Amino acid sequence: MYDYVGTVLCVEGGWLYEAGVMTMNNYRKLSRLYFNTLRGGGNGRTALIEWNSVPVRFQEKAIEITGDPVITTRKSTFKTYLEHDQKAQEFFNNYTLDAGTALPDRNIKEYTANAIVLNAIYTVTTSLMAKRRTLGGSKVKIWDKIAEVLQELPKHTYPHTLPNNTRRLKQKLKLYKAEGYETLIHKQFGNKNSEKINEDAKLWLVSRWADRVMKVANFAQLHAEYNRMCELEGWKPLKHQDTIKNYLHLEHVKNLWYGHRYGELKAKEKYTYFHTTKMSSMRDSLWYSDGTKLNYYYLDADGKIATCQVYEVMDTFSEVFLGYHISKTEDYEAQYYAYKMALGVSGHKPYELKFDGQGGHGKLKAGNFLNKISRFANKTQPYNGKSKTIESAFGRFQQQILKQDWFYSGQNITAKTIESKANMEFILANKHNLPSLKEIKEVYAQRRAEWNNAKHYATGEARMEMYLNSDNPETPEVSLLEMVDLFWITREKPITCTPYGISFKEKKVAYEFSVYDADGMPDFEWLADNTDKKFIVKYDPSDMTLIYLYTKDALGLRRVGAATTKVVIHRNRQEQEAWELSYMQRINEANKRHRLNRYNEMEQILKDHKMSAEDYGLKNPKVSGIKSTYDKKNKTPNTIGTHQKQESNMDAELEYENSRVNDY
């Protein structure tokens, strides 16, 4: 509808009445008396009328429909001067940086667009006809209008980065026309006009920046130190610290020092190759287990704000939390109970189990527990949260479920958003209303149920339904007998049997066990045969009334017996129960009987081999505490006990005389 004839802006005559700007009668009248027609119509041509010859009231009506043609045609006319610059594109494509690398594609497009736009600006500002067509013939504020046009160019077509400020834009064009394409390359790339760093200096810079002991605080300090080194080494000093910064941030250089400056774990996250993996497609194919802080505050027995730990076992297919245990710390007992619950809920052994290797996993591994409940039991990589699906799921559990409770303690310390933090002002103001540990456990159980019954993010099906509706033919069911066998823990260190029985401490609690016969009496024969012998002990942490005793040989463990909690009796009569006195008497008599039997058995062996005391013309002492030989004359017992008592009552003189008699 608008076009130029030479440098004159025109409007199509037919469009004026077709668009309703004016009637046909008005058009004919104005054509005769008022319009300046620069091109007549007919023979397929459209009449072009000088825009400035159209009366103002009709111009205003046309502008309402199309916008101001002076502005719109200015934009479109400027675009006609935007011609692709093949030389610029080839220059930037082939440009090699000081580091020996090419320019990034994004920058090649940017610099090529800058060259194209600057070429158009130069044409417009130096050609009178182009200037009048593009800028409406105005001789004032030319650069302001150019700046406006540049701002309205589509960035997806012309991704230029030329300044909007007219003074800087003029300077940019002047430098570009004087020095060429290279002036468009940003100084961050260290272009050909930048300062150079020799190879020895580069190695020194990398070393100094990576120094973890005498650490460099910033690039200004490094720049100053570098220039001092230049005087010693004969290097060329640098004027700008950006030269150092640009070099150190080259990717092939940055990955060298990154771990030393920020920590190897940070470098691992940034530069290590990560696998892309698929999650399991059926239940019980892979279980993850992990311990973490339970994100609730509670009031402990001393009235102090406290937190505790939770150990969770999760099925990765459905994200169902199968088993858990809440405790003060993450230890093997928490893991044991969590796995026990998980197997009880599932009814199946997992094909594979992954755990982090911290807490008490060493004990469970030593007892072969983890390999018993799964075909494969593997540690996850340490310090690699991305490899643990349970951490991602538990993070969402915290954000979506646990966060609803006012005593929520916030996510773990690595979380940075304000939404992940606890409202400590409110919690401290209501400290006395915090729940107890028992109440926390009840709330947590309810929240776990919410999670398990909520929709899975990928399928839209409830997690527990996903789990129950799935089937894994390679995960066997767990029988009752297997459950019993699975959850007995093997102590790593052997226990020595003593006359007191089998004693050991677990979690700082002392336990004593003894082997008893069918009548509930200590098995004296077993105790005599096994005193000072070492045993491997297996026990169930949930029931410490029974343990199994094993010996270990080249073929492995052999079960040799069972021991139950040792009977404890009161020493003083006042607190003894009725059965205790008779029980003590029975055991004392049995002890004497077994001592005498053992003594007599050995005496018989000696007599059979002519080695008894009588065979040498001497007398055997009586068994102390069982039989007493009385001096018929004095009717006093002649036992080792009375002899020891007499010895203790002798004074030094009698002892001396006695020793003289013995010398004869």
pLDDT digits (tens, 9 = 90+) for 577-632: 888 888 888 988 888 888 888 889 899 999 999 999 999 999 988 887 775 433 44
Rounded CA gap, 47 and 589, in Å? 137
Greatest Cα pair distance, the chain, in angstroms, is: 172
| Collapsed DSSP state (helix, strand, coil) of residue 161 | coil
Cα 570 off chain centre by: 54
Residue with tokens 């399928």: 459
Q: What is the 3-state secondary structure (H, E, C) of 596-625?
A: HHHHHHHHHHHHHCCCCCHHHCCCCCCCCC
The answer to whether position 90 is within a domain reads: yes
* CA nearest neighbour of 98 among 203, 237, 193, 191: 191
Amino acid 189: pLDDT: 73
- Who wins on pLDDT, 74 or 191? 74
| Mean pLDDT score, 637-659 | 49
Is 134's pLDDT higher than 60? Answer: no
| Residue 193 vs residues 162, 179, 184: alpha-carbon distances, Å | 20, 11, 12
- Indicate which CATH number applies to the domain containing 41: 1.10.10
Q: Residues, the chain, total?
A: 664
Torsion of CA 512, 515, 521, 527, to 10 degrees: -100
Same domain, 584 and 500: no
Strands (E), 507-638: 509-514, 534-540, 543-553, 556-565
**CA-angle at 79, arms to 107 and 125, nearest 5°:** 90
Same domain, 262 and 367: no
> Positive or negative CA dihedral for 544, 550, 555, 556?
positive
Q: Which helix (H) or strand (E) holds 296?
A: strand 287-299
Rounded CA gap, 92 and 419, in Å? 46
The answer to whether position 78 is within a domain reads: no
Same domain, 297 and 424: yes
The answer to whether position 346 is within a domain reads: yes
The answer to whether position 482 is within a domain reads: no
The answer to whether position 376 is within a domain reads: yes
Is 646's pLDDT higher than 70? Answer: no
Answer whether 356's CB lies under 8 Å from 388's CB: yes
β partners of residue 11:
2, 49
Rounded CA gap, 466 and 456, in Å? 8
The answer to whether position 392 is within a domain reads: yes
Contacts of 544 (CB under 8 A, 6+ apart): 506, 511, 565
Q: Two tokens at 594?
A: 């077994």
Amino acid 382: pLDDT: 55
Same domain, 383 and 459: yes
Rounded CA gap, 7 and 130, in Å? 8
Is 515's pLDDT higher than 90? Answer: yes
Cα 388 off chain centre by: 7
The answer to whether position 113 is within a domain reads: yes
Phi, psi (rounded to 5 degrees) for 500? -80, -10
Which DSSP category does 280 fall into? P
Amino acid 633: pLDDT: 40
Q: How many domains does the chain have?
A: 7
HSE, CB side, 13 Å, CA atoms: give it for residue 182. 10
Rounded CA gap, 580 and 588, in Å? 12
| Mean pLDDT score, 150-169 | 87
| Collapsed DSSP state (helix, strand, coil) of residue 537 | strand
Rounded CA gap, 292 and 412, in Å? 9
For 85-129, the DSSP string reads: -HHHHHHHHH-B-TTS-BPPHHHHHHHHHHHHHHHHHHHHHH-HH
Is 650's pLDDT higher than 90? Answer: no
Rounded CA gap, 272 and 84, in Å? 41
Amino acid 647: pLDDT: 52
Amino acid 359: pLDDT: 58
pTM of the model: 0.47
Q: Which of 166, 189, 212 is the last residue of a domain?
A: 189
Q: What share of the chain is helix, strand, coil (3-state, %, to 5)?
A: 50, 15, 35
Domain residues for 637? 629-664
Q: What percent of the chain has pLDDT over 70?
A: 85
| pLDDT, the chain, mean | 84
Rounded CA gap, 356 and 330, in Å? 12
Rounded CA gap, 162 and 114, in Å? 7
Is 482's pLDDT higher than 90? Answer: no
Answer whether 375's CB lies under 8 Å from 354's CB: no
634 pLDDT band, cuts 50/70/90, is very low
272 pLDDT band, cuts 50/70/90, is confident
Phi, psi (rounded to 5 degrees) for 443? -65, -40
Is 162's pLDDT higher than 60? Answer: yes
Rounded CA gap, 148 and 166, in Å? 10
β partners of residue 215:
none
Rounded CA gap, 322 and 282, in Å? 15
Amino acid 49: pLDDT: 86
- Who wins on pLDDT, 447 or 335? 447
Amino acid at 539: Y
Rounded CA gap, 329 and 340, in Å? 18
Same domain, 554 and 605: no
Is 104's pLDDT higher than 70? Answer: yes
Amino acid 73: pLDDT: 67
Determine how β-strand 287-299 pairs with β-strand 556-565. Answer: unpaired
* CA nearest neighbour of 27 among 284, 19, 431: 19
| Mean pLDDT score, 500-521 | 92
| Mean pLDDT score, 155-166 | 89
Same domain, 438 and 295: yes
* CA nearest neighbour of 454 among 397, 398, 500, 493: 397
Amino acid 449: pLDDT: 97
Q: Which of 221, 239, 271 is the last residue of a domain?
A: 271
**CA-angle at 447, arms to 444 and 453, nearest 5°:** 145
Amino acid 125: pLDDT: 81
Interval 365-420: pLDDT, tens: 555 678 888 888 877 655 555 555 788 898 899 999 999 999 999 876 666 678 87
480-485 contacts at long range (C-beta below 8 A, 24 or more positions apart): 483/340, 483/343, 483/344, 485/372
| Mean pLDDT score, 235-240 | 90
Is 573's pLDDT higher than 90? Answer: no
Is 53's pLDDT higher than 80? Answer: yes
Q: Two tokens at 74?
A: 């200015």
Q: What percent of the chain has pLDDT over 90?
A: 41
Same domain, 39 and 101: no
Answer whether 515's CB lies under 8 Å from 563's CB: yes
Looking at 136-150, 405-419, 552-566, which range is the least confident one? 136-150
Same domain, 25 and 58: yes
Q: Which of 525, 543, 568 is the last residue of a domain?
A: 568
The answer to whether position 380 is within a domain reads: yes
Same domain, 462 and 596: no
Same domain, 61 and 175: no
470: left (phi over 0), alpha (psi -120 to 50) or beta: beta
- Indicate which CATH number applies to the domain containing 346: 3.30.420.10
| Collapsed DSSP state (helix, strand, coil) of residue 72 | helix
Amino acid 662: pLDDT: 41
179 pLDDT band, cuts 50/70/90, is confident
Amino acid at 350: P
Looking at 28-37, 86-95, 204-213, 416-425, which range is the least confident one? 416-425
Same domain, 315 and 370: yes
* CA nearest neighbour of 546 among 483, 480, 478, 487: 487
Same domain, 395 and 361: yes
- Who wins on pLDDT, 60 or 275? 60
